[in-house]
């Protein structure tokens, strides 16, 4: 950018309604000064274009798509009740920013942007919503990982269990959980305790399938090759359940020979792709 030599941008003259994947592997453009705003406005030929400002529909808070500090804004008049308010902001012909749903189908382009020399990092937001079908939590040990704690229970655990995540939670490309380290196991144990009132689950299937073919060592049904294990003493049981479960109170794993008739709760995961801010 002429107004900021550390940033580059691209204008796309397409009529779209943005979502979190727009501009991948970069982000919708964050505008950090009046000079940048004037430069961007001069490229739109008097038309409206999407920028990277987003409003949380629940809290009303605004933030940049790439999580840059919100040091500059140029908000226009609030949307009327008839217009309605959306999540994504666009730049108007006079350079102000609005998010009125009534205009969404008329926006003729969008700006993507990134800093020169930027490296791909895990997004700080963007976990697909389960729409209340689970408790959604963005991981911290692996910030590219989204957890979905369900209160549903399943009785039969096998290679097809991944479909529970895709079909029941309606999140494409989600899978059953896999646990790669003691840090991740501790995080899951802590989170499970914190949300027990919301799920009423004390044991979860953790995505490890146990059987004769692998010498009862277990294999992750999502294809993860992690060798981390945290078995409770005496497990795995060669006569036990085919699925490993972890205990939210001590974080150890077991595969009891006689699981409850109602089955166990389960956790799904979704991996965010790294992006350049």
| pLDDT at site 264 | 93
Q: Which residues pair with 245 in a beta bridge?
A: 205, 254
| pLDDT at site 216 | 67
Element spanning 52, H or E: strand 49-55
Tens-digit pLDDT string for the chain (277 aa): 888 889 999 999 999 999 989 999 999 999 999 999 999 999 998 899 999 999 988 889 999 999 999 999 999 999 999 999 999 999 999 999 999 999 999 999 999 999 998 899 999 888 999 989 999 999 999 999 999 999 999 988 888 888 889 998 999 999 999 999 999 999 999 999 999 988 889 999 999 998 755 566 789 999 999 999 999 999 999 888 889 999 999 999 999 988 898 899 999 999 999 999 9
Gap between the Cα atoms of 92 and 41, Å rounded: 8
Gap between the Cα atoms of 69 and 73, Å rounded: 11
| pLDDT at site 210 | 82
Burial classification of residue 78, based on how many CB atoms lie within 10 Å of its CB (0-12 exposed, 13-18 middle, 19 or more buried):
exposed
Structure tokens given for 115: 């800093």
| pLDDT at site 11 | 95
| pLDDT at site 71 | 93
| pLDDT at site 185 | 96
Report H helices in 156-254: 162-163, 182-194, 196-199
Residue 62 vs residues 24, 31, 206, 240: alpha-carbon distances, Å: 21, 13, 36, 50
Residue 105 CB contacts under 8 Å (≥ 6 apart), including other chains: 15, 17
Identify whether the C-beta of residue 187 lies closer than 8 Å to the C-beta of residue 178: no
């Amino acid at each position: 950018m002429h107004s900021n030599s550390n940033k580059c941008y691209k204008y796309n003259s397409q009529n779209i309604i943005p979502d979190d994947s727009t501009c991948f592997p970069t982000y919708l453009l964050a505008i950090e000064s009046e000079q940048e705003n004037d430069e961007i406005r001069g490229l739109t030929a008097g038309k409206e274009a999407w920028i990277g400002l987003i409003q949380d529909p629940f809290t009303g808070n605004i933030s940049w798509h790439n999580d840059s500090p919100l040091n500059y804004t140029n908000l226009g008049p609030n949307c009327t009740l008839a217009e309605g308010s959306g999540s994504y902001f666009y730049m108007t012909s006079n350079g102000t920013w609005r998010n009125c749903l009534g205009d969404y189908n008329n926006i003729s382009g969008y700006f993507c942007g990134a800093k020169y020399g930027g490296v791909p990092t895990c997004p700080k937001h963007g976990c697909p919503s389960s729409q209340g079908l689970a408790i959604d939590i963005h991981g911290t040990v692996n910030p590219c990982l989204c957890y979905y704690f369900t209160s549903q229970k399943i009785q039969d655990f096998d290679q097809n269990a991944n479909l529970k995540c895709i079909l029941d939670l309606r999140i494409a490309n989600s899978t059953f959980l896999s646990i790669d380290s003691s840090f991740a196991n501790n995080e899951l144990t802590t989170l499970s305790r914190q949300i027990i009132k919301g799920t009423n689950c004390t044991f979860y299937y953790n995505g490890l399938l146990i059987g004769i073919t692998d010498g009862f060592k277990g294999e992750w049904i999502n294809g993860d090759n992690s060798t981390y294990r945290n078995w409770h003493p005496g497990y795995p049981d060669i006569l036990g359940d085919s699925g490993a479960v972890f205990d939210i109170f001590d974080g150890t794993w077991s595969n009891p020979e006689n699981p409850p008739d109602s089955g166990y709760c389960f956790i799904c995961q979704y991996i965010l792709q790294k992006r350049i801010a």
